[in-house]
């Protein structure tokens, strides 16, 4: 009798529940349409969708409506929410209430308060753009990213996504360059569409992003007992447990109930905030999980990514858990990344990287594909540098997915088509066919034309590229800014060549031969970056070297690339970043590396001296007493005596190594690049030696004396 999707036994179905909460804490389009006068709504859409300037009168009406909605939902404060160069988000709350002058309060929120804020810019990193006495900075409302409510235990705050800019007009955040890079890509992509005559009704091209987030969960009580986790989000000591990920039994395994409860609650909060999360599962390492959203326009995806990381952190403690977003919380098991799925789409919804059925005839797709390949080949070093950080060094180039050599995986079908283009007109598209499972009761599965490749850092996966080298704790804004900018440059170059080759309004035949001629050259020049094999293998490393592909093994090598003139020029040319804006980002990235390692070194020394050493000395005392007592009883104890000698030697080693880390960690160099180089050359190896001494002691000191929760306790969470 009831509607099919409606309540079951009087209880709402899951679909109804999700539908009723999805976006409930967002001042969404639907909400604006319902609450704003028609003309105001229409005028606002012109700003959001077409980038037209915002009418101040419109801003006043929107602000009043947004305030009413927020107050109805319990908000007392509002904040301009932005993403400074710390890589995190920032907020400064102001009350919506003000005294009315007659002993009561009024709730006010004007258009100008919505549109512009003025946080003190001097305490955010500016990488030299601003001296500390120059404090003025502005936040500007980004109407394209919906405002939302942030709910705390006893507080609700209206958050208004904004861009952050200095008084001089230079971008001080990660959002402005991202938006500018989309603009640059859009301009060039439209030229291509125009050549193909597919630009009708299209006013913009944007990039789409879906970022899969990997993370670890540990018990929060144990987390508080580990100063290294608490301060650095990674264990600086820790002997490997007998069982790590050897059995590969964690990946896609059954999700422990406590973890599942945490996931469900995080997802519920994310739904309320309009973040379209879709996938959850166990990852490869024990204690490691993943959450993935549906893709969205890149700047929204980037805002949502920040919200997602914050939500995981916020919800976990309710279940006695701590979410670790660090790239490498534990040695010896996999680290965490963020697979950045990326594509280009028209504002009419056409995915420009969708190959479709007869791919070999889809010239427009091949142009966008080849432009991306060209961009990655020309700027592999910059792409690599865009994801360089102290934390990501533990993954890239460190025997783990993915390697530091940036290459592109295409798969059989596309590799075959590019081979054909190189020789002339492509004639066929390889098909996957179907998979017969050999049991009549099972369905026939349509099969993809090629297998997947898990080892490639930049893989084509059906109708998008997946940039897998992004670190799990990183903001995705910068890597996407780089990706958009380098692809914009390639589209620019290819559009220019095509325009020259085929002229305006070419006939289909002319267009086809022109495209083939241009792509042939592009493929010849840039196919060296394409690699469909095993990226972990030794052979690939030597093969890549033969092909002349850069292999920037760690951050310090990557930082050098950032300094190059060509890169400064690239961002300037496409109006993404001016020189000082670019230089400041480079400086901050390197400085962050230096600071992080200094903190790690100091933490290590304090754990070694304050916790490991006393426990080890106590164990040494016990052992010495045991030897003495045994001897006193008239029995020789040669093994225990030797163990005591080894122990004393290890304790000495720990002291020596701690002193060494302390000394090398105190080094300073005014030039952050030189300082970073010293860290990579001297400090990091010393830290590895100190860790080895600590971990060896963990193996011998009595369990009841060991002061830190061990890997077994941390990783095998139930």
Nearer to Mg ion, 211 or 352 (CB): 211
Nearer to ligand ADP, 351 or 640 (CB): 351
* 455 contributes a contact to ligand ADP by CB under 6 A: no
Q: How far is the CB of 293 from Mg ion (least distance, A)?
A: 12
Nearer to Mg ion, 161 or 457 (CB): 457
* 304 contributes a contact to ligand ADP by CB under 6 A: no
CA distance 192 to 184: 13
Site for ligand ADP in 208-227 (CB under 6 A): 208-210, 212
Q: Contact 576/485 with Cβ under 8 angstroms?
A: yes
Q: Contact 322/316 with Cβ under 8 angstroms?
A: yes
Could you give the 3-state DSSP secondary structure of residue 305? helix
Q: How far is the CB of 389 from ligand ADP (least distance, A)?
A: 22
* 293 contributes a contact to ligand ADP by CB under 6 A: yes
- What is the size of the binding site for ligand ADP (CB under 6 A)? 16
Here the tokens at position 234 are 């990674």
Helix (H) or strand (E) holding 324: strand 321-324
**Which partner, ligand ADP, Mg ion, none, binds residue 41 by CB below 5 to 8 Å per kind?**
none
Q: Contact 163/140 with Cβ under 8 angstroms?
A: yes
Q: Around Cβ 438, how many Cβ atoms within 10 Å?
A: 6
**Which partner, ligand ADP, Mg ion, none, binds residue 209 by CB below 5 to 8 Å per kind?**
ligand ADP
Q: How far is the CB of 343 from ligand ADP (least distance, A)?
A: 3
The region of 20-28, 255-263, 289-297, 572-580 touching ligand ADP under the rule CB under 6 A is 289-297
Q: How far is the CB of 401 from Mg ion (least distance, A)?
A: 11
Q: How far is the CB of 536 from Mg ion (least distance, A)?
A: 17
* 401 contributes a contact to ligand ADP by CB under 6 A: no
CA distance 27 to 149: 8
Nearer to ligand ADP, 20 or 279 (CB): 279
CA distance 44 to 64: 14
> From residue 342, how far is each of 362, 372, 391 by CA, in Å?
20, 11, 23
Buried b (16+ CB within 10 A) or exposed e, 390-404: bbbbbbbbeebbbbb
Contacts of 581 (CB under 8 A, 6+ apart): 129, 170, 171, 177, 571
CA distance 26 to 48: 16
**Which partner, ligand ADP, Mg ion, none, binds residue 464 by CB below 5 to 8 Å per kind?**
ligand ADP
Give me the DSSP letters along 419-486. Answer: HHHHHSS--------EE--S-TTSPPEE--SS---SS-SEEE-SSSEEE--SBTTS-SHHHHHHHHHH
CA distance 409 to 407: 7
Nearer to ligand ADP, 86 or 463 (CB): 463
Q: Around Cβ 43, how many Cβ atoms within 10 Å?
A: 19
Residue 390 CA from chain centroid, whole number: 14
Q: How far is the CB of 352 from ligand ADP (least distance, A)?
A: 9
Q: How far is the CB of 61 from Mg ion (least distance, A)?
A: 43
The region of 68-76, 292-300, 436-444, 620-628 touching ligand ADP under the rule CB under 6 A is 292-300
Q: Contact 655/637 with Cβ under 8 angstroms?
A: no
Nearer to Mg ion, 162 or 305 (CB): 305
Spell out, one character per residue from 410 to 449, where the chain touches ligand ADP: x when CB under 6 A holds, - when not: ----------------------------------------
> From residue 514, how far is each of 193, 567, 699 by CA, in Å?
15, 30, 68
Nearer to Mg ion, 339 or 379 (CB): 339
Nearer to ligand ADP, 292 or 370 (CB): 292
- Residue number with the smallest Cβ distance to ligand ADP: 210
* 294 contributes a contact to ligand ADP by CB under 6 A: yes
Q: How far is the CB of 263 from Mg ion (least distance, A)?
A: 18
**Which partner, ligand ADP, Mg ion, none, binds residue 402 by CB below 5 to 8 Å per kind?**
none
- Return the residue of 28, 116, 198, 463 that touches ligand ADP, per CB under 6 A: 463
Q: How far is the CB of 181 from ligand ADP (least distance, A)?
A: 16
* 464 contributes a contact to ligand ADP by CB under 6 A: yes
Q: Contact 225/200 with Cβ under 8 angstroms?
A: no
Which residues contact Mg ion (rule: CB under 5 A)? Answer: 339
Q: How far is the CB of 341 from ligand ADP (least distance, A)?
A: 3
Closest Cα to residue 324, out of 222, 406, 402?
A: 222
**Which partner, ligand ADP, Mg ion, none, binds residue 407 by CB below 5 to 8 Å per kind?**
none
Spell out, one character per residue from 538 to 577, where the chain touches ligand ADP: x when CB under 6 A holds, - when not: ----------------------------------------
Nearer to ligand ADP, 212 or 303 (CB): 212
**Which partner, ligand ADP, Mg ion, none, binds residue 292 by CB below 5 to 8 Å per kind?**
ligand ADP
Q: How far is the CB of 534 from Mg ion (least distance, A)?
A: 17
Q: How far is the CB of 278 from Mg ion (least distance, A)?
A: 12
Q: How far is the CB of 691 from ligand ADP (least distance, A)?
A: 32
Q: Contact 604/687 with Cβ under 8 angstroms?
A: yes
> From residue 457, how far is each of 67, 337, 338, 395, 469 by CA, in Å?
45, 11, 11, 12, 6
607 Rama sector, left if φ>0, alpha if ψ -120 to 50, beta otherwise: alpha
- Span between the terminal Cα atoms of the chain, in Å: 43
- Return the residue of 124, 295, 458, 574 that touches ligand ADP, per CB under 6 A: 295
Q: How far is the CB of 209 from ligand ADP (least distance, A)?
A: 5
Spell out, one character per residue from 247 to 286, where the chain touches ligand ADP: x when CB under 6 A holds, - when not: --------------------------------x-------
Q: How far is the CB of 199 from ligand ADP (least distance, A)?
A: 20
Closest Cα to residue 156, out of 318, 269, 29?
A: 269
**Which partner, Mg ion, ligand ADP, none, binds residue 687 by CB below 5 to 8 Å per kind?**
none
Nearer to ligand ADP, 447 or 595 (CB): 447
Read off the DSSP letter of residue 154.
Answer: S
Residue 215, strand partner residues = 289
Strands 321-324 and 434-435, bridge-based pairing: unpaired
Nearer to ligand ADP, 290 or 327 (CB): 290
Site for ligand ADP in 317-376 (CB under 6 A): 339, 341-343, 351
- Residue number with the smallest Cβ distance to Mg ion: 339
Buried b (16+ CB within 10 A) or exposed e, 163-176: bbbbeeebbbbbbb
Nearer to ligand ADP, 341 or 555 (CB): 341
Q: Around Cβ 280, how many Cβ atoms within 10 Å?
A: 16
Residue numbers at the binding site for ligand ADP (CB under 6 A):
208-210, 212, 279, 292-295, 339, 341-343, 351, 463-464
């Amino acid at each position: 009798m009831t509607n099919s999707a409606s309540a079951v036994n009087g209880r709402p179905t899951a679909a109804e529940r999700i539908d009723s909460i999805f976006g409930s804490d967002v001042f969404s389009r639907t909400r604006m349409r319902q609450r704003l006068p028609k003309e105001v709504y229409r005028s606002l859409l012109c700003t959001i969708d077409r980038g037209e300037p915002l009418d101040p009168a419109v801003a006043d009406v929107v602000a009043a409506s947004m305030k009413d909605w927020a107050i109805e939902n319990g908000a007392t404060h509002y904040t301009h929410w932005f993403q400074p160069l710390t890589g995190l988000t920032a907020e400064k709350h102001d009350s919506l209430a003000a005294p009315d002058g007659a002993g009561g309060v009024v709730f006010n929120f004007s258009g100008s308060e919505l549109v512009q804020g003025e946080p003190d810019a001097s305490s955010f990193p500016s990488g030299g753009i601003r001296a500390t006495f120059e404090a003025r900075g502005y936040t500007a409302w980004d109407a394209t990213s919906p405002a939302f409510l942030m709910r705390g235990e006893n507080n609700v705050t209206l958050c208004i996504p904004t861009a952050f800019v200095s008084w001089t007009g230079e971008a001080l955040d990660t959002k402005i360059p991202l938006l500018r890079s989309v603009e640059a890509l859009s301009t060039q992509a439209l030229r291509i569409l125009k050549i193909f005559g597919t630009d009708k009704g299209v006013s913009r091209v944007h990039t789409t992003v879906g970022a899969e987030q990997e993370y670890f969960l540990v018990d929060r009580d144990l987390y508080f007992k580990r100063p290294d986790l608490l301060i650095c989000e990674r264990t600086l000591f820790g002997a490997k447990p007998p069982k790590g990920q050897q059995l590969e039994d964690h990946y896609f395994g059954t999700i422990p109930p406590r973890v599942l409860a945490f996931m469900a609650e995080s997802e519920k909060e994310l739904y309320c905030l309009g973040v379209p999360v879709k996938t959850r599962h166990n990852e490869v390492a024990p204690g490691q999980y993943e959450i993935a959203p549906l893709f969205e326009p890149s700047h929204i995806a980037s805002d949502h990514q920040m919200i997602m990381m914050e939500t995981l952190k916020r919800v976990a403690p309710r279940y006695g858990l701590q979410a670790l977003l660090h790239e490498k919380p534990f040695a010896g098991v996999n680290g965490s990344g963020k697979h950045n799925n990326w594509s280009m789409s028209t504002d009419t919804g056409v995915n420009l990287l969708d190959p479709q059925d007869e791919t070999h005839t889809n010239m427009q797709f091949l142009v966008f594909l080849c432009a991306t390949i060209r961009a990655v080949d020309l700027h592999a070093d910059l792409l690599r540098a865009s994801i360089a950080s102290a934390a990501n060094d533990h993954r890239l180039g460190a025997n783990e997915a993915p390697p530091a050599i940036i290459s592109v995986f295409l798969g059989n079908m596309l590799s075959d088509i590019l081979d054909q283009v190189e020789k002339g007109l492509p004639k066929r598209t390889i098909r996957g066919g179907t998979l017969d499972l050999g049991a009549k009761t099972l369905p026939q599965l349509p099969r993809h034309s090629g297998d997947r490749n898990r080892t490639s850092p930049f893989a084509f996966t059906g109708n998008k590229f997946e940039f897998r080298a992004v670190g799990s704790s990183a903001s995705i804004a910068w890597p996407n800014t780089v990706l958009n900018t380098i692809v914009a440059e390639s589209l620019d170059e290819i559009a220019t060549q095509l325009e020259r080759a085929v002229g305006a309004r070419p006939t289909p035949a002319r267009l086809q031969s022109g495209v083939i001629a241009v792509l042939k050259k592009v493929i010849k020049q840039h196919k060296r970056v394409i690699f469909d094999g095993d990226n972990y293998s030794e052979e690939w490393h030597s093969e890549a070297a033969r092909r002349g592909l850069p292999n920037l093994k760690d951050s310090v090598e990557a930082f050098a690339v950032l300094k190059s003139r060509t890169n400064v020029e690239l961002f300037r040319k496409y109006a993404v970043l001016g020189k000082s804006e670019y230089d400041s980002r480079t400086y901050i990235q390197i400085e962050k590396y230096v600071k992080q390692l200094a903190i790690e070194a100091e933490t290590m020394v304090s754990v070694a001296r304050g916790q490991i050493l006393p426990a080890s000395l106590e164990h040494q005392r016990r052992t010495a007493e045991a030897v003495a007592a045994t001897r006193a009883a008239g029995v020789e104890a040669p093994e225990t005596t030797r163990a005591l000698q080894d122990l004393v030697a290890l304790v000495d080693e720990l002291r020596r190594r701690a002193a060494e880390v302390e000394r090398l960690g105190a080094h300073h160099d005014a030039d952050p690049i030189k300082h970073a180089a010293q860290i990579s050359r001297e400090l990091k190896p010393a830290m590895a030696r100190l860790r080895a001494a600590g971990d060896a002691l963990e193996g011998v000191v009595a369990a009841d004396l060991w002061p830190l929760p061990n890997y077994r306790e941390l990783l095998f969470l139930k």
